[in-house]
């Protein structure tokens, strides 16, 4: 251990490699949504619990939701409007009376392996044959889950709704490298078609960019878009609502596009 390491150990500190502005700019562009040839519709609750998805639902029989809390109107809308059955997973105490009648609920954590208290995403999806919707809000565990999902199971997902967390850590180059690999994995199979900042977030300046700590993303599998033009969509979308009604809305800076 050199003197510099001893000094930082004395004050319980450590040094991290800082992500460059150029790298931050590159990965932010990969999060921006594109216009597609389907309109977006809003399902779920007003404000928190509501999501924008492409109106490309025909033929889908099942939705999988990891992390639901007590907000289940999205799943009820899928059942009542489109006869889509939901498989729902959460380890917290859930009011089961709020869940759709046709749904199945598992009191487990989603993980990279299965156990008495955990269920891996691959074990959950391995037996599925048709296209499905997958919604995930699991407070930061989405990164390991997306890393572990097999290519075969990823291609079963027609529409992916995901909240990504802890984006303040993009300043840490180790986190950044892992994050970009996960986004690249998604971008290989999907187009991002909607982005909405969760206004419960704090906003941090990272590499000269104001970045909300939480972003809600909607993605559609690439083969479902027949006329892709590579044009970014305008934000905010007209159907967007604040996640937290009493807090100021957060908007994406125009410099993300530059």
Instruction: Check pLDDT > 90 for residue 88.
Output: yes
Instruction: Check pLDDT > 70 for residue 13.
Output: no
Token look-up 């917290």 returns 92
Token look-up 């889509």 returns 84
Beta strands in 56-199 (DSSP E): 62-66, 85-89, 104-106, 109-111, 118-120, 132-136, 157-164, 190-197
What does residue 14 show for φ and ψ, rounded to 5 degrees? -145, 160
Residue 2: predicted pLDDT: 58
| Span 239-253, pLDDT tens digits | 999 999 999 999 999
Whose CA is closest to 202, among 166, 161, 164?
166
Whose CA is closest to 43, among 103, 104, 84?
84
| Span 157-189, pLDDT tens digits | 999 999 999 999 999 999 999 999 999 999 999
* pLDDT band, very low/low/confident/very high, at 96 (cuts 50, 70, 90): confident
Q: Who contacts 67 (Cβ-Cβ below 8 Å, separation ≥6)? A: 89, 90, 110, 136, 137, 138, 139
| Span 61-74, pLDDT tens digits | 999 999 988 889 99
Residue 70: predicted pLDDT: 81
Residue 8: predicted pLDDT: 57
Q: What angle do CA 17, 21, 23 make, to 5 degrees?
A: 75
Residue 102: predicted pLDDT: 87
Q: What gap in Å lies between CA 95 and CA 90, rounded to an integer?
A: 11
Per CATH, the number for 18-257 is 3.40.50
Q: Who contacts 102 (Cβ-Cβ below 8 Å, separation ≥6)? A: 79, 85, 86
Q: Where are the domains of the chain?
A: 18-257
Secondary structure element (H or E) that encloses residue 80, with its range? helix 73-82
CB 163 within 8 A of CB 215: yes
Do β-strands 62-66 and 85-89 pair in parallel, antiparallel, or remain unpaired?
parallel
Whose CA is closest to 195, among 224, 236, 142, 159?
236
What does residue 221 show for φ and ψ, rounded to 5 degrees? -60, 140
* pLDDT band, very low/low/confident/very high, at 5 (cuts 50, 70, 90): low
Could you give the percent of the chain with pLDDT greater than 90? 84
Q: Give start and end residues of each alpha helix (H) in 109-222.
A: 121-125, 142-148, 151-154, 173-189
Phi-psi region of 250 (alpha: psi -120 to 50; beta: other; left: phi over 0): beta
Peptide bond into 236 cis (omega under 30): yes
What is the SS3 assignment for 64? strand
What is the SS3 assignment for 5? helix
What does residue 170 show for φ and ψ, rounded to 5 degrees? -60, -20
Q: What gap in Å lies between CA 250 and CA 43, rounded to an integer?
A: 21
């Amino acid at each position: 251990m050199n003197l510099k390491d001893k000094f930082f150990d004395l004050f319980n500190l450590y040094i991290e490699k800082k992500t460059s502005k150029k790298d931050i700019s590159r990965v932010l562009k990969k999060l921006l949504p594109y216009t597609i040839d389907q309109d977006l519709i809003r399902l779920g609750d007003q404000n928190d619990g509501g999501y924008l998805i492409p109106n490309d639902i025909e033929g889908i029989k099942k939705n999988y939701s990891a992390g639901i809390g007590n907000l289940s109107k999205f799943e009820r809308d899928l059942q009542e409007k489109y006869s889509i059955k939901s498989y729902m997973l959460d380890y917290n105490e859930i009011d089961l009376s709020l869940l759709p009648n046709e749904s199945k609920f598992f009191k487990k954590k989603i993980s990279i392996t299965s156990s008495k208290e955990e269920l891996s995403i691959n074990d959950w999806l391995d037996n599925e044959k048709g296209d499905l919707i997958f919604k995930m809000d699991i407070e930061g565990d989405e990164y390991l889950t997306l890393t572990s999902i097999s290519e075969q199971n990823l291609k079963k997902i027609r529409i992916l709704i995901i909240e990504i967390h802890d984006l303040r850590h993009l300043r840490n180059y180790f986190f950044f490298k892992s994050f970009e690999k996960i986004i690249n994995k998604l971008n290989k199979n999907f187009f991002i078609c909607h982005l909405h900042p969760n206004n419960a977030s704090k906003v941090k300046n990272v590499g000269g960019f104001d970045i909300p700590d939480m972003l809600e993303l909607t993605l559609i599998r690439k083969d479902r878009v027949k006329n892709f033009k590579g044009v970014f969509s305008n934000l905010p979308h007209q159907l967007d609502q604040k996640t937290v009604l009493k807090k100021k809305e957060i908007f994406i800076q125009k410099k993300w596009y530059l």
